[in-house]
Amino acid sequence: MAPDSYNPVNHRAVEVLVSKLRRRQVIGSREAALETVRVLRQVVSKARFSNIDQLVNLIRSVGKRLVEAQPKGNTVRKILHHIREEYNTAINGVASTSSKPVFSISNFVLQGQPRKQSVALKSEGSMTLKENDPDDPDSFARGLKPVLMEAIQDVLDELETVYDTVSKNAKDHIHSDEIILTIGYSKTVEAFLKAAAHSRNYTVIVAETGPSYSGHEMARALSSAGISTFLVPDSSIYAIMSRVNKVILGAHAILANGGMFAITGSLLAATAARVHSTPVAVCAGQFKLTPLWNLYHEFGALDFADPSSVLGFEEGNLVDKVDVMNPYYDYVGPELVDVFITNDGDHPPSSVYRLIKETYDDDDHEL
Amino acid sequence: MPSSSSIPPNAPNSDSRPPLKLQKELTKAERRELQERQRAAKLASKGGAAPSGSMAKSTPKPGAQAPATSAAPKRGRRPSESAPRAPAVAPGRAAKDAKIAVPSTLEPSPGNARSLRIFSHFGLPKTVSVAKGDIHPAILRLALQFSNFKITGANARCIATLTAFKTVIQDYATPPNNTLSRHLMTHLSPQISHLVAARPMSVTMGNAIRQLKLEISGSDIDLPEQDSRSSVVEKVLLGAHSEGRTFSVIVVDSRPMLEGKRLLSVLAEAGIQCTYMLLPSLGAVITEVSMVLVGAHSIHSNGAVYSRAGTALVAMLAKQHSIPVVVCCETYKFSEGVQLDSFTKNELAPLGDQFASFPLTKPRESLTLNNGPHLEILNPLYDLTPPTSITAVVTEVGVIPPNSISSIPLALGRLL
């Protein structure tokens, strides 16, 4: 049911991205987001549409394909949101400001997009956009496209600077002589810790997390930046937790209920920290927010990986008789996290739902 | 940001320090010399700084008496204690240059990598020193096996120790003009010290040796016979399976020792349905587990369990999901005294053959991570599970709750 302006060129670009995601050739969620935005930019620039709904449907169909490859269509949703915003401002000329904001819970729930009034005016004056013009079906598209490309470029810029914005307040969170515990390898956490190391002197304990042992790269990266680092196996997380001042984790996805998916081992670290009353901070870019909240009920969301890294084939006689499990992600509930440090500021898990309302449109929750 | 307290953590090592002696042992004189040199260097750079030179921290020495726990190190002040009991004491990592951690009042001496002093009392496993005096060859062999981790596990070590001592005593002949009991004790002491120098003594060994000495002084030498048993948990599971109970086992394993693989092969051979996973994946399956079974190295009188690293995490997670945690432990593993956290007494695994414990799917180059100027690799072997995470302790005298542990030795009539 793709609209007939479904360009074969777009089709190819999307297919390439889908197969890359499926084969996990795109490493890191930021990379995936960047690639998605680039592909969507291509799609939008080449698309031909006469009214906004066609464009939206086009992008949604692309998004559906991407979501099948990797169940997190956040960037698609974000772009749709921006597109709708731009469209609304273009149509209405001046952005409509609501009356004096009334702060009550019911308003937040009813309003939907409370940020609408603060949209910057990108289009000058009032553009006359005629939808479904029978004579000139492309006029609508032509008029709207530059604005859309700018909006998409904004998203791209935000994605590219996410590490810097997250680490802006790093030195407020970390003090001298602290011992920080982290798990595995997250680029956001690495940037955060390196930024704090410029002005603070502290120690980091990295738990290599099996079976990916990504903690080794993290330890190497941090120690080459001059931060004293200790590498420990995950079995000793509880043992050293009594000396740790803070736990800083990276996230793969932040769910709407304030919980998150993170690399395996994060649940152990967060639970041990809770037992010792140690604060847990999570560094993540805003693009990791997802409006789905019940993913943790799905066992498959844990993204099982190759079992031979747990029990290799060299243990030949065991391989038949034994089941091996190798989940890639852990679900960490909202009660175990104290703060989410994002490029948009610091938020407690209880207000994640508000962020989601502001960033995404309600209709896009189901792509 | 006041610049006086911002320390460049990665300035190069100042030249006056000697190379780090991690594996070799410093004698007391060398240690003192090192301290003096560092103190002088610090005085020179600061002019009357607070006294905190390099501290020689001796590794904890649980001897035949009640284990003397070393004081938990506070940051910045460390008493320079040296209480040599065993003839060769390796100060371990403390010989590394210490950095003053007093914040913002002193100008720290530039250019030394910050070592994490809270771990410094663990010490690295030492190579076996030159034997002083005549040590029986059985003890020598045993010490070598301990220090290379060829014999691991509390039971195994204790049994091996007692067997070795059996040989020693059999070969022993009382020299003339000496009473048996007294001379045998003095004969055994250097052997025991040699073993302790190879690897800190386990509580089981301590208890056994104490019992042995008691027997000797009571002049009736009769070593308790131990039939060689494998790990307790393994026995429990095999026993239950042979009784016809149907159950499935999830074996959770973790570095550095990856001992679960042995258990896995034994159980799989016996035909028990098994699943194998690494420790971080535990969160995915914990909701489907009906009981957690762990072994112990020793149990303290408050019910805290001192066992292989990782046990505390498993017990904590299980308790959160209201799953019973059962510890299988014989009564001779009970230790008097209370240990508060995993730092008071612990060991580090040797860095030796790392590749064995990593899966083959990882490329070798990414694994060659050695201790760099700012990087250290630690592999603590043990951890302490608090009594609140434990539901019950199964011993040969029954199933008891963790807070009744202190009354058991008395009830059994032992004077431990």
More confident residue, A73 or A343: A343
Burial B218-242 (b: 16+ CB within 10 A, else e): eeeeebeeeeeeebbbbeebbeebe
Name chain B contacts of A313, Cβ cutoff 8 Å.
360
- Of all residues in chain A, the percent with pLDDT exceeding 90 is 14
Name chain A contacts of B10, Cβ cutoff 8 Å.
226
Name chain A contacts of B383, Cβ cutoff 8 Å.
235-236, 238-239
Nearest-angstrom CA–CA distance, A187 and A214: 11
Name chain B contacts of A199, Cβ cutoff 8 Å.
1, 6
Greatest distance between any 2 Cα atoms in chain A: 75
Query: Are A357 and A108 within 8 A, CB to CB?
Result: yes
Instruction: Name the nearest CA neighbour of B21 among B45, B56, B48.
Output: B56
Name chain A contacts of B384, Cβ cutoff 8 Å.
239
Name chain A contacts of B3, Cβ cutoff 8 Å.
none
Query: Residue A181: what are its φ and ψ, rounded to 5°?
Result: -110, 135
Give the confidence band of B140 by pLDDT, cuts at 50, 70, 90: confident
Nearest-angstrom CA–CA distance, A60 and A77: 9
Q: Where are the domains of chain A?
A: 8-160, 164-364
Give the confidence band of A122 by pLDDT, cuts at 50, 70, 90: very low
Continuous segment of H or E residues that includes residue B160: helix B154-170
| B278 contacts A211? CB cut-off 8 A | yes
| A318 contacts B284? CB cut-off 8 A | no
Mean pLDDT of B38-62: 45
Name chain B contacts of A171, Cβ cutoff 8 Å.
1
β pairing state of A203-208 and A179-183? parallel
Residue to mutate among A236, A244, A275, A309, with most B CBs inside 10 A, is A236
Indicate whether B5 pLDDT > 60: no
Mean pLDDT of B200-207: 68
Indicate whether B59 pLDDT > 50: no
More confident residue, B306 or A122: B306
Residue of A nearest to B113 (CA): A228
β-sheet bridge partners, residue B274: A322, B249
Q: What is the ipTM of this complex?
A: 0.74
- Of all residues in chain A, the percent with pLDDT exceeding 70 is 70
pLDDT in tens, A124-144: 334 455 555 555 556 666 777
Nearest-angstrom CA–CA distance, A278 and A266: 14
| A229 contacts B374? CB cut-off 8 A | yes
Residue of B nearest to A328 (CA): B281
| B375 contacts A219? CB cut-off 8 A | yes
| B116 contacts A272? CB cut-off 8 A | no
- Of all residues in chain B, the percent with pLDDT exceeding 70 is 48
pLDDT in tens, B368-396: 556 667 788 888 888 899 999 999 998 88
Nearest-angstrom CA–CA distance, A71 and B322: 32
Residue B109, min C-alpha distance to chain A (Å): 14
Indicate whether A179 pLDDT > 90: yes
pLDDT at A344: 82
3-state secondary structure of B295: strand
pLDDT at A275: 92
Give the confidence band of A157 by pLDDT, cuts at 50, 70, 90: confident
Least confident of A355-364, B33-42, B72-81: B72-81
Give the confidence band of B414 by pLDDT, cuts at 50, 70, 90: low
Handedness of CA A81, A87, A90, A92 (dihedral sign): negative
CB contacts < 8 A (A, B): 207
Number of H helices, E strands in chain B: 10, 10
pLDDT in tens, B177-199: 666 666 666 777 767 777 766 66
Highest-confidence segment of A326-335, B59-68, B260-269:
A326-335
Nearest-angstrom CA–CA distance, A70 and A329: 13
Of the candidates A220, A239, A275, the beta carbon closest to that of B383 is on: A239
Burial of A184 (0-12, 13-18, 19+ CB in 10 A): buried
pLDDT at B219: 41
Query: What's the mean pLDDT when you consider all of chain B?
Result: 64
| A226 contacts B374? CB cut-off 8 A | yes
Alpha helices in A134-186 (DSSP H): 138-160, 162-166, 170-173
Residue to mutate among B107, B241, B286, B313, with most A CBs inside 10 A, is B313
Nearest-angstrom CA–CA distance, A221 and A187: 10
Indicate whether A323 pLDDT > 60: yes
Indicate whether B282 pLDDT > 90: no
| A231 contacts B369? CB cut-off 8 A | yes
Name chain A contacts of B104, Cβ cutoff 8 Å.
176
Name chain A contacts of B382, Cβ cutoff 8 Å.
239
| A312 contacts B9? CB cut-off 8 A | no
Instruction: Name the nearest CA neighbour of B406 among B298, B303, B260.
Output: B303
pLDDT at B173: 63
pLDDT in tens, B205-243: 766 666 666 666 554 333 323 333 336 777 778 888 888
Name chain A contacts of B373, Cβ cutoff 8 Å.
223
pLDDT in tens, A34-78: 877 888 788 777 777 767 777 778 778 877 777 776 656 677 777
The whole-angstrom distance between residue A353's C-alpha and the CA centroid of its chain comes to 14
Nearest-angstrom CA–CA distance, A191 and A170: 9
| B359 contacts A234? CB cut-off 8 A | no
Indicate whether B175 pLDDT > 90: no
| A264 contacts B283? CB cut-off 8 A | yes
- Write down the CATH number for the domain with range A164-364: 3.40.50.10470
pLDDT at A116: 40
Give the confidence band of B66 by pLDDT, cuts at 50, 70, 90: very low
Nearest-angstrom CA–CA distance, B196 and B206: 10
Query: What's the mean pLDDT when you consider all of chain A?
Result: 76
Amino acid at position A100, single letter? K
pLDDT at A276: 93
pLDDT at B269: 81
- Of all residues in chain B, the percent with pLDDT exceeding 90 is 2
Least confident of A100-109, A174-183, A323-332, B321-330: A100-109
Give the confidence band of A267 by pLDDT, cuts at 50, 70, 90: very high
pLDDT in tens, A270-312: 999 999 999 999 998 888 888 776 666 666 556 666 666 666 6
Mean pLDDT of A252-278: 90
Mean pLDDT of A219-227: 87
Name chain A contacts of B265, Cβ cutoff 8 Å.
315, 317-318
Residue of A nearest to B276 (CA): A324
Residue of A nearest to B367 (CA): A216
| A201 contacts B280? CB cut-off 8 A | no
pLDDT at A272: 94
Instruction: Name the nearest CA neighbour of A74 among A47, A43, A104, A35.
Output: A35
pTM: 0.67
Query: Are B2 and B104 within 8 A, CB to CB?
Result: yes
pLDDT in tens, A3-34: 444 455 557 777 887 787 777 666 667 777 78
Of the candidates A201, A271, A326, the beta carbon closest to that of B7 is on: A201
Indicate whether B110 pLDDT > 50: no
pLDDT at B18: 42
Indicate whether B416 pLDDT > 60: no
CATH topology of domain A8-160: Four Helix Bundle (Hemerythrin (Met), subunit A) (1.20.120)
Mean pLDDT of B163-180: 70
Of the candidates B116, B317, B374, the beta carbon closest to that of A268 is on: B317
Nearest-angstrom CA–CA distance, B134 and B3: 59
Nearest-angstrom CA–CA distance, B68 and B126: 20
Nearest-angstrom CA–CA distance, A255 and B93: 44
Give the confidence band of A223 by pLDDT, cuts at 50, 70, 90: confident
Query: Are B139 and B161 within 8 A, CB to CB?
Result: no
More confident residue, A179 or A288: A179
More confident residue, A247 or A63: A247
Query: Are A28 and A187 within 8 A, CB to CB?
Result: yes
Indicate whether A352 pLDDT > 80: yes
Q: Which CATH architecture has domain B232-352+376-412?
A: 3-Layer(aba) Sandwich (3.40)
Of the candidates A213, A226, A235, the beta carbon closest to that of B358 is on: A213
| A216 contacts B367? CB cut-off 8 A | yes
Q: And the tokens for B329?
A: 């432990």
pLDDT at B27: 62
Of the candidates A199, A236, A318, the beta carbon closest to that of B268 is on: A318
Q: Where are the domains of chain B?
A: 137-217, 232-352+376-412
